[in-house]
């Protein structure tokens, strides 16, 4: 009887130690956020180069980034200097943005709703590979389509169709994708000199897609914006 009690007590001790050990192994939300901040800092200082495993072709290259303030960004007519690889830190959201092309056409007007077509590449900066994209030949006929509204400075959007919508079962457009609409033009190519808007973004989980929000990781994006018909 004493032996049975002894073994039962030992079993309870082992189970308790295992339980508390597993609890210690679980990261808190604060720890995950700290890890995300560190990952973003490393990405900014080092950049990234992602190659295709079989062919060795470069899928994505990002040089080390120079961060500028919103004040400097405003002084530069809301543009980032590409020769210095500048990204502006938008303090309200924690998003870093580089405007590669402001685009033809005009900005989304107050009270206006427009169909917007996107080509994009998504890279989880905590990983080492491209996570999702529709900017290649495989998806040439499948641009991301979203409906966006400028409600007097408050930008909202919903996905209509596309790879991003299907992959993430997404209905609402992430804040990170909507923020550039404040600064770029939406237009369609009508002449050889016309260009559609193109941006690069570092989007923290708080402004990202659902999986990034759930698992607390930041993504790098390169996205084009074209006004739909």
Name the helix (H) or strand (E) containing 199: strand 197-203
What mean pLDDT do residues 102-117 have?
A: 97
Q: Which of 6-20, 79-93, 108-122, 207-221 has the lowest mean pLDDT?
A: 6-20
What is the pLDDT at residue 20? 46
| Tens digit of each residue's pLDDT (9 = 90 or more) over 7-47 | 555 555 445 554 444 455 689 999 999 999 999 999 999 99
Q: Kindly list the structural domains of the chain, giving each domain's residue range(s) and its CATH number in brackets, ordered by start.
A: 31-227 (3.10.50.40)
Q: What's the sign of the alpha-carbon dihedral 119, 125, 128, 131?
A: negative
| Tens digit of each residue's pLDDT (9 = 90 or more) over 175-194 | 999 999 999 999 999 999 99
Q: Assess whether pLDDT exceeds 70 at residue 201.
A: yes
Q: Is 85 left (phi over 0), alpha (psi -120 to 50) or beta?
A: left
Q: Residue 227's CB: how many other CB atoms inside 10 A?
A: 20
Alpha carbon 119 to its chain's center:
13
Q: Assess whether pLDDT exceeds 50 at residue 52.
A: yes
| Tens digit of each residue's pLDDT (9 = 90 or more) over 124-167 | 999 878 999 999 989 989 999 999 999 989 999 999 999 999 99
């Amino acid at each position: 009887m004493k032996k049975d009690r002894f073994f039962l007590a030992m079993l309870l001790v082992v189970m308790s130690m295992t339980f508390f050990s597993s609890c210690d192994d679980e990261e808190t939300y604060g720890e995950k956020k700290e890890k995300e901040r560190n990952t973003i800092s490393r990405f900014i200082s080092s950049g990234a180069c992602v190659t295709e495993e079989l062919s060795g072709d470069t899928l994505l290259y990002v040089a080390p980034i120079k961060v500028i303030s919103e004040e400097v960004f405003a002084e530069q007519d809301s543009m980032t200097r590409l020769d210095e690889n500048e990204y502006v830190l938008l303090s309200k959201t924690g998003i870093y943005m580089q405007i590669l092309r402001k685009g033809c056409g005009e900005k989304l007007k107050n009270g206006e709703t427009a169909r917007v077509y996107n080509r994009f590449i998504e890279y989880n900066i905590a990983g080492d590979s491209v996570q999702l994209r529709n900017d290649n030949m495989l998806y040439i006929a499948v641009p991301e389509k979203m409906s966006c509204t400028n409600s007097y400075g408050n930008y909202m959007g919903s996905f209509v169709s596309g790879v991003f919508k299907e992959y993430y079962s997404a209905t609402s457009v992430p804040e990170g994708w909507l923020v550039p609409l404040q600064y770029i033009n939406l237009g369609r190519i009508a002449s050889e000199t016309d260009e559609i808007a193109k941006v690069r973004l570092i989007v923290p989980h708080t402004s990202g897609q659902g999986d990034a929000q759930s698992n607390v990781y930041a993504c790098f994006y390169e996205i084009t914006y074209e006004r739909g018909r």
